Structure 1
Amino acid sequence: MTDANTTRSLRALFLSDIHLGTRDCQADLLLDFMRVHEAETIYLVGDIVDGWRMRRSWFWTQSHNDVVQKLLRKARKGARVVYIPGNHDEFLRDYLGTHFGGVEVMDRCLHEAADGRRFLVIHGDQFDVVVRHARWLAYLGDWAYETALWINTWLNRARRSIGLPYWSLSAWAKLRVKNAVNFIGAFEDALAHEAKRVGADGVICGHIHHAVMRDMNGIAYVNTGDWVESCTAIAENHDGSLEIIRWTRLEHERQQPLLLPRAEAAE
């Protein structure tokens, strides 16, 4: 457990799939999280703002504005903030190499951890064949996901009324439906292969809203998850170890750090 009232110092913090501009964004929880976590470098690994949804309907509350202001304030106080756009905020890819309020916009980058491991940091939509080759199907999938979240909201209100804990319909579907499982596996393989191709020891990405850390044949595959359902982030400690932090109001859960010796990663 993590004490929500104690500020924790990190070497690096990786956040993705916040989806500001949507009703499903857990902006208040993210603000809670950022109040008690300080990092030397903050990577915003895509889909921070949801341009797709905002084109259909505008939803922007004060808490969404507060998230932006909090990130800019951290940059002003000396944190390096790197924004790597995803498919939902792809409009920012027109501004690669520029700075906004101290925030660097990059397509991808290499992050060197304290223990010397190098990680490719990328959103990952470039390796999603649906997004790349069937944009209409990607939009349809986004609509289906939005519908599942709406159903999930009402389902969990009913569950809370009878004393049952939160349960995620979309997360269940991702891990039970064969095609979804196959897609996740192919996505992970593609990202691990890209990390190996560029000479990195691992990859840190987002896009599929499924936080995980695993060793894939000597390549560390790390996914940041999202701030719509799971409320997860990847933290690098000052010794170079990585961990998943799952953040809710009731429980601040930390996964054991991912330890991948450089000798193993280089094989």
Structure 2
Amino acid sequence: HDEMLRKFIPMHFGSIKMVNRVIHETIKGKKYLVVHGDAWDGVMKYAKWLSKLGSIAYELLLKINIVINFFRRLRGKEYWSLAKFLKYKVKNAVKYIGEYEKTVSDYAKRKKFDGIICGHIHHAEDRDFDGINYLNCGDWVESCTALCEKYDGTFEIIYWDKIRENYIYEQEDNIVEVDEFKNAS
């Protein structure tokens, strides 16, 4: 999916413009390079066939995940990501993620940025690498995460499952039984 979307650059969707990279300045004046992040992925650069195979395997995992979660819902269990589980349990994947984060951060440091924001590896993260703020927004498919800048110029990773859970509890706390409502009037 990474390469395919590049043919739409530069495209506008109303006031939203698709670009390859952009520099974001926070309210505190810090400069962040915002990119997808696949440019630092060795597999994407040097073994495109392996990247395509990985993409097919990933799509298959997502389909298997739909079936798994269908049965989990029937049993009253919450959403669980097979792809995320495998990615973080496999030793080489964990090592790859660490090396990727360091490589991306090193690039940002060489280019004199305060930080870098990307999403390519779909692993939400907010880390410091030798004074460089590495931020990964994660993704909206398997982990349902996003990144937002707060009014004080700091960043926060938003976890939809936690927001959803809090919202559901707030709604349950505000439910008024019909009989209670009748008695109150």
- Structure 1 runs (4+) greater than 6 angstroms displaced: none
1:106 & 1:245 partners in 2: Cα distance? 23
1:165–1:121 distance in 2 versus 1, CA, 3 Å: same
Alignment counterpart, residue 107 of structure 1, candidates 6, 13, 20: 20
2:35 & 2:166 partners in 1: Cα distance? 26
CA contact (8 A) 1:245 1:252 kept: no
1:250 & 1:204 partners in 2: Cα distance? 25
Structure of higher CA gyration radius = 2
Alignment counterpart, residue 39 of structure 2, candidates 111, 122, 126: 126
1:131-163: CA deviations, max 9, x gaps?
111111111001101111111111111122222
2:72 & 2:12 partners in 1: Cα distance? 45
Greater relative CO, 1 or 2 (CA 8 Å, sep 6+): 1
Q: Which residue of 2 aligns with 1:62?
A: none
Alignment counterpart, residue 3 of structure 2, candidates 87, 92, 99: 87
Report the more deviating stretch, 159-168 or 232-241.
159-168
C-alpha RMSD of matched pairs (Å): 1.9
Q: Which residue of 2 aligns with 1:233?
A: 146
Superposition deviation, residue 100 in structure 1: 5.4
Superposition deviation, residue 252 in structure 1: 5.8
**1:3-42 mapped onto 2 (5 Å cutoff):** none
**Mapped pair 1:139 → 2:48:** no
1:90 & 1:182 partners in 2: Cα distance? 28
1:226 & 1:123 partners in 2: Cα distance? 11
The normalised TM-score by structure 1 is: 0.58
1:170–1:112 distance in 2 versus 1, CA, 3 Å: same
1:102 & 1:164 partners in 2: Cα distance? 40
1:252–1:88 distance in 2 versus 1, CA, 3 Å: farther
Amino acid aligned to 2:164:
L
Superposition deviation, residue 107 in structure 1: 2.2
2:15 & 2:164 partners in 1: Cα distance? 34
The normalised TM-score by structure 2 is: 0.82
2:13 & 2:63 partners in 1: Cα distance? 34
Superposition deviation, residue 239 in structure 1: 1.2
Q: Which residue of 2 aligns with 1:169?
A: 82
1:213–1:252 distance in 2 versus 1, CA, 3 Å: farther
1:100–1:160 distance in 2 versus 1, CA, 3 Å: closer
Alignment counterpart, residue 250 of structure 1, candidates 164, 173, 180: 164
1:32-67: CA deviations, max 9, x gaps?
xxxxxxxxxxxxxxxxxx4xxxxxxxxxxxxxxxxx
2:62 & 2:19 partners in 1: Cα distance? 30
Alignment counterpart, residue 130 of structure 2, candidates 206, 210, 217: 217
Amino acid aligned to 1:91:
K
1:252–1:140 distance in 2 versus 1, CA, 3 Å: farther
Identity rate, percent: 47
1:190–1:241 distance in 2 versus 1, CA, 3 Å: same
Name the structure with the higher helix share.
2
Amino acid aligned to 1:250:
R
Structure 2: gaps of 5 or more residues: 168-185
Alignment counterpart, residue 121 of structure 2, candidates 199, 202, 208: 208
1:156–1:239 distance in 2 versus 1, CA, 3 Å: same
